[in-house]
Amino acid sequence: MSEEERKSGGEFEREPVPDSALLGPGKFWGMYAGEHTAGTEFMIGPLFLAAGASLQDLFFGLLLGNVLAVLTWRFLVTPIAMSKRMTLYYQLERIAGGSLVRFYNLVNGLLFCFLAGAMVTVSASAVGIPFDIFYEAPAATFGFGAPSFTALVVVVGVVMAVVAAAGYETVARVANIAAPWMIAVFAACGIVSLVQMNATSVGALTEGRFWAEAIDFVQEKNGPQTFGFWQIVVFAWLCNGAMHFGMADLSIFRFARCKSSGWAPSIGMFLGHYMAWIAAGLLLAALIKVAPDATVGSDGKVSANPGLLAFQALGWTGIICVVIAGWTTANPTIYRAGLALQGVMPKSSRTTMTLVAGAVATVAGAFPNLSAQLLGFVGTYGTVLGPMGAVILVDFYLMKKFGLVDEYAAHSGVGINLAVLIAWLLPVGVGLYLIFWKGLFAAYAVIPAWFACGVIYLALSKLTQKPVAAK
């Protein structure tokens, strides 16, 4: 291993992955199964119920949305990843310039940290159950929970950060080991919940009254809300928008030996974002049925406490599952955030940056309301990060066809490629305005921003590119 490689952790972070380091599809299937059957599923499933999604819309909307997500990974991300074999960050640096990518990396890393923070919260909600320390979302977005819960979040966050800093090999191994068991536990939670709601006959299951009654209860406490079929489709498709449309998973698929690895996210989607979401939604419906008071917080509103939901269905196994599910998702996320932050300071070690990312995630995890707003957060996250994927796609497929220079920053030596800067910030700015000031459902902004970014990047490149010496 060269000196430079050793400093960067030996993970080919600033060079194409050599053939000798390529991995077969099995590694990717195990990794994705662990990543998308996660602690957040315990949160997102109940949020669908709380938002008023009908059971029928949930079944068919999630099916369509997940198919679209898998196709995006396979046909958008994998071909570019296998051709370039570079991390997202290094590839962007060659296109957008070092200074611009440092800013993007900072935004990227912070958003990853907040996502990981939500998972720290979820894990802490389960760890707290045996100690009578309960998760409860305060009214303010940046309000703390009980002091004991905040202390618990710190402990859980520190453990997660240290494990993530140990490296991806450790994380992948734990995710591999836990994945089949975790999937079984999610399924078990769903089945137990059905029995608790007396939904054990074909008639009761198809009628779905147990679900409708739970929605009525939530809406009586929280006020009326609707979450329709297309919202479910778009959410399921784009909740990982930063990973596929945004090309963050280039950093993973650059190791792929064959294109079939690109189908690996399907195991995560259909077990984690289909079965597990529905099972988690059933957990809240069941708790509403058997102990409605336990679902109502001090503010009189229904909120989902992931640890409590799993505990009432499967006891200690449920608690262990929530902790491990949160852990196996938070770890790769903190790891990725570490990579992103390392892009800001390339001379720093990945281990140090992973610990920094873990610390930020822990602070974010101390605000329980962030995890309670996951439906909106992941859409915003895709809107901000997703468009850069369009820059990579246009650069890879279209620049030469339009007589332009690809990887312009690498060839011209500019620190900031203005075409990329404007193409990214303009649609993202409009998207954030529509989300935060006009109340647009966040996931709806991802694809328009992505397309706008690609078109603007191509047009501005045509206007701003100057001839460069061939390298």
List interacting residues with another protein (CB under 8 A).
1, 5, 9-12, 17, 20-21, 23, 27, 30-31, 167-169, 172-173, 176-178, 180-181, 184-185, 187-188, 191-192, 194-195, 200, 252, 255, 314-317, 320
Q: What are the structure tokens assigned to 314, written together? A: 């499967």
Q: Which amino acid is at 405?
A: V
Q: Least distance from C-beta 349 to another protein, angstroms?
A: 14
Of residues 180 and 228, the one with the C-beta less far from another protein: 180
Contact 284, 49 (CB under 8 A): yes
Q: Least distance from C-beta 393 to another protein, angstroms?
A: 23
Of residues 176 and 219, the one with the C-beta less far from another protein: 176
Long-range contacts of 225-229 (CB under 8 A, 24+ apart): 225/50, 225/51, 225/52, 226/51, 226/52, 227/48, 227/51, 227/52, 227/53, 227/57, 228/53, 228/57, 229/57, 229/60, 229/61
Of residues 195 and 212, the one with the C-beta less far from another protein: 195
Q: Least distance from C-beta 362 to another protein, angstroms?
A: 23
Q: Least distance from C-beta 143 to another protein, angstroms?
A: 34
Q: Least distance from C-beta 467 to another protein, angstroms?
A: 39
Q: Least distance from C-beta 412 to another protein, angstroms?
A: 32
Of residues 140 and 202, the one with the C-beta less far from another protein: 202
Q: Least distance from C-beta 287 to another protein, angstroms?
A: 14
Of residues 260 and 317, the one with the C-beta less far from another protein: 317
Q: Least distance from C-beta 451 to another protein, angstroms?
A: 31
Of residues 195 and 291, the one with the C-beta less far from another protein: 195
Q: Least distance from C-beta 407 to another protein, angstroms?
A: 24
Of residues 29 and 424, the one with the C-beta less far from another protein: 29
Of residues 31 and 111, the one with the C-beta less far from another protein: 31
Strands (E), 338-437: none
Q: Least distance from C-beta 181 to another protein, angstroms?
A: 5
Q: Least distance from C-beta 350 to another protein, angstroms?
A: 10
Q: What are the structure tokens assigned to 335, written together? A: 């790891």
Kindly list the distances between the CA atom of residue 59 and the CA atoms of 232, 289, 390, in Å, as whole numbers in the listed order.
9, 21, 30
Of residues 221 and 336, the one with the C-beta less far from another protein: 336
SS3 321: helix
Concatenated DSSP letters of 127-160: HTGGGT------SSTT----HHHHHHHHHHHHHH
The gap from C-alpha 5 to its chain's centroid, in whole angstroms, comes to: 29
The gap from C-alpha 136 to its chain's centroid, in whole angstroms, comes to: 22
Q: Least distance from C-beta 80 to another protein, angstroms?
A: 18
Of residues 317 and 412, the one with the C-beta less far from another protein: 317
Q: Which amino acid is at 46?
A: P
Q: What are the structure tokens assigned to 79, written together? A: 């071909």
Contact 424, 435 (CB under 8 A): no
44 C-beta neighbours (distance < 10 Å), count? 24
Strands (E), 143-241: none
Q: What are the structure tokens assigned to 224, written together? A: 């009326």
Of residues 50 and 77, the one with the C-beta less far from another protein: 77
- CA–CA separation, 413 and 422 (whole Å): 18
User: 438: buried, middle or exposed (CB in 10 Å: 19+, 13-18, 0-12)?
Assistant: exposed
- CA–CA separation, 460 and 297 (whole Å): 52
* Rounded (5°) CA angle 446-274-118: 60
Of residues 1 and 463, the one with the C-beta less far from another protein: 1
- CA–CA separation, 69 and 72 (whole Å): 5
* Rounded (5°) CA angle 456-461-466: 165
Phi, psi of 130 (to 5 degrees): -65, -20
